[in-house]
Amino acid sequence: MELLLIVIYLGIVLLVIEISAVLMMLTGLDNEIARFQVTSLLTGTGFTTQESELIIRHPVRRRIGIFLILFGVFSLAVIITLVSNLLEKRFRLPELLVITGILAFLLVILKVKPMQKRLSKKLHAPLEEDEGVEELPVSELLYNDEEDWIIDIPVIENSEYEHCHIDDLCTADEDINLLFVQRGPLRIRRRSENSDTRIEAGDVLYVYGNKKQISEKFSKELEHRHENLVDENKTVSLL
């Protein structure tokens, strides 16, 4: 009976992993990354990779992660209890010796060099190539100290920067750089073929530079951005 319960519960765990992976993918996460991170969270393995930041920085993914961590702790307790009962009732010294012998035999086979060569050819796969700096997080590339900041700033209606020329937004004496302007699906860079562009309400400015100067220059826009984020978090909490 305990063996059947273990199989059923493992099936439940696998279903939870698949459902959580699908939910993670719906938030925009890559398929392979989603499944690996879900498994890591549920088992409490705690891989501290750069990919884990994709979970931490997203409110919905964090909630899924919290559920997986709690479910993983509960599942471990259930499985340990079931396995303990199974060993107590069904397994004695002879059975354990047989299992130990099988594992030892498997280890000996894996140590044989001809077998290692054959398995190596089948199991070997090239590592994923590191594409270079473009794969690194923005914080590692651009943040030199605590004063550095990169942020997206929505332009509100009646903003003092509305109708401002894109090249006049940041002056030479300011430690602020306009990376690009997001206008719907279009990304507009400075000194490009769209260099005559003027800022419009609804544009999103991606700026990088000194945090204090950015906060002072775009104080109204940042306050509006913060209010929108608070409203979004409240909506997510209700869901």
CATH code at position 146? 3.30.70.1450
Range of the domain at 39: 2-90
Token pair, residue 103, equals 């594992």
103 domain-assigned? no
Please give the tally of structural domains in the chain. 2
Look at residue 139 and tell me whether its pLDDT is greater than 70: no
Look at residue 132 and tell me whether its pLDDT is greater than 60: no
Same structural domain, 6 and 85: yes
Q: What is the pLDDT of residue 238?
A: 53
Q: What is the pLDDT of residue 213?
A: 92
Q: What is the pLDDT of residue 90?
A: 62
Q: What is the pLDDT of residue 129?
A: 53
Q: What is the pLDDT of residue 89?
A: 65
DSSP alpha helices (H): ranges in 135-239?
Answer: 138-142, 211-217, 219-238
Per-residue exposure over 120-152, b if at least 16 CB sit within 10 Å of its own CB, e if not: eeeeeeeeeeeeeeeeeeeeeeeeeeeeebbbe
Q: Are 82 and 2 in contact (CB under 8 A)?
A: yes
Task: Out of 49-53, 105-109, 219-223, pick the least confident.
Answer: 49-53
Which amino acid, 147?
E
